[in-house]
Structure 1
Amino acid sequence: MAEAAQEEKEEVISSKILTPSERILGRLEQLAKLDDKVLDYKSRQYLSTWSAYEQFIGQVEKWYNRNSRRYMKYMSQYGKDVISEVEFKTVMHDLRVPFSDVQVHILFMWLDSKRTGEVEFSRLSEALYVALYKRFAVDDDHTTMNIEDQKKWIRMTFKSPTCEPLEMLTTFETLIHLGFTGAMLTELVRVHVPVLATRNFVIFTDQFRCSETLVHCNQHLYEFEYNGGPQCAPREGTIFYEFSMGHIDCPLLLNLNPKEKSRPKESEVPGQHDATSPIIKDQTSSN
């Protein structure tokens, strides 16, 4: 009896220490656990087909690319990197995201892959890539697969021509599917080479960077000259990445800009030079 009274007293004391907001948050977390069973079931139903899975990831990726700053700003208001389920879903509600409760729950599950009840909100973009990669692996069912359809895996070597002469550890290998898009490939670079100062990259299929070899964000690898194999024996391939300075698609392709091509050379414009100003000769022009 004495021990029970002591425990009851401790509970009363601890409840007095909690602020009203903390008590409300605790109650919401209890209710969230009750809702999780229903939401888990509805989430599995929603993602039962590949088309729904791919479409949802595309919607989230598009939204995140446009609202990543607002997302990080709102999530950072808690003053911590790891937040609870209720805190995550509350912020998503405040952001007025174009997703249903089931879809927001799916995002939380992807972030909370170990089912700890807490997530690192800054890894949302990485969670999308991991979720899509896992789905590719799950779909490789040896009991029902068509061998020809499954020959889409490639062990890709990622290289950066700019960094290689500097002896930087920027070359890596990974197993990927030919359905990977340019956006997914850039995310792979961010994950495997975190030492780089910039987070913006452009992908090329050839070390000679040109518009024909540029992989746009929404382009798939199977649109290029890559041949895959089964997951157990993938083909090998090489792809290249460079830094982006914010120019549309690729700042390294400025010479391909039609406006740049049509602009006359300084030496062809009359009245642009006087006797004291040297004329810079175009090194690439032929005599």
Structure 2
Amino acid sequence: MPPKSLKVLKKLEKLTKKDGKIFDKEMASYMERIADFQHFVDRIDDWYNKNEKRYLKFMSLYGEDIISETEFKLAFRNLRTPFSELEQHIICRMIDPTASGRIEYAKLYEGIWKALANKYVADDDPNIMDLDRPDKWFLATFKIPTFEPLDMQTTFEALVSQDYTGYMLRELIRTKVPQLPTKAIVVFTEASKYAETVIKCNQRLAEFNFTGGPKCAPTEINLYFDYTMGRVDCPMVSRVEYFGRPEVQKAQSKPEHS
């Protein structure tokens, strides 16, 4: 880093420490109610799922896996995230609970859910039955059962609920793996029983033999997917855009006369 830039960064880091002391005091009241904290974590989760690639690419410009708190906050500001300065500070504390000032930015997603789990444990009263925390969450690993293509990464993890339908899972796969050569995707629960375990368009995960967990400690499951050029059950996939216009298909299917 050029000397002038380093000098500016050092000044900013002093201001970050000064602001941090104020924000640390405000954190307590902001995080007091578990429902409000849950909503905050959901907002981060939603933003991260939509911006994961942009976030990681931007942070990687620093050329380091661990950056300073000041650098992290500057990057967050440049990414134009929807979080206030106090909320950005809380996110830093989620990733760096010891307040070391060093942020391992790739652990943002892990950090927010660990922080929520710790909050649940700290606030939990064993004498009160909490009926508002349904055990319906899964940390699903999505993968192609046969092999992963060399030219693209197709295995990924995502937090999903038992209310996810087959259509919603397909949309999630398309978002996470945009390089797939077709929109006709099938999702199933067992690699060796493709036909019997296909998750149809309107079927929910709740209809399958999975037992969920709370959002802060979801049950880990595997889901499999593959792409096909044939028709699958989902009405969206039956539209002509996926397979060409009917007259084109008809023309292509006619045998050539010798």
> TM-score by structure 2 length?
0.60
Deviation at 1:51, TM superposition (A): 2.4
Equivalenced residues, count: 211
**Greater Rg by CA:** 1
Aligned: 1:109 with 2:93: yes
Out of 70, 73, 83, the residue aligned to residue 86 of structure 1 is 70
Aligned: 1:255 with 2:232: yes
When residues 252 and 123 of structure 1 are mapped into structure 2, their CA distance, relative to the original with a 3 A threshold, is: farther
Aligned: 1:54 with 2:38: yes
When residues 54 and 225 of structure 1 are mapped into structure 2, their CA distance, relative to the original with a 3 A threshold, is: farther
The amino acid across from 1:256 in the alignment is D
Aligned: 1:274 with 2:252: no
In 2, distance between residues paired with 1:225 and 1:54? Answer: 27
In 2, distance between residues paired with 1:271 and 1:163? Answer: 32
- Higher relative CO (CA 8 A, sep ≥ 6), structure 1 or 2? 2
Which residue in 1 is equivalent to 2:111?
A: 127
The amino acid across from 1:145 in the alignment is I
CA contact (8 A) 1:203 1:241 kept: yes
Offset from partner CA, 1:218-245 (integer Å, 9 cap, x none): xxx7x98877899xxxxxx885412477
Offset from partner CA, 1:60-83 (integer Å, 9 cap, x none): 222223333332233222221110
When residues 77 and 226 of structure 1 are mapped into structure 2, their CA distance, relative to the original with a 3 A threshold, is: closer
In 2, distance between residues paired with 1:151 and 1:63? Answer: 22
CA contact (8 A) 1:75 1:91 kept: yes
Unaligned runs of 5+ in 2: 147-157, 163-175, 178-185, 191-196
Unaligned runs of 5+ in 1: 1-17, 165-179, 185-198, 216-220, 231-236, 246-250, 278-287
> TM-score by structure 1 length?
0.55
Which residue in 1 is equivalent to 2:128?
A: 145
Between 101-110 and 113-122, report the one with greater CA deviation.
Answer: 113-122
In 2, distance between residues paired with 1:227 and 1:271? Answer: 47
Identical-residue share of aligned pairs (%): 28
Which residue in 1 is equivalent to 2:224?
A: 242
In 1, distance between residues paired with 2:90 and 2:132? Answer: 27
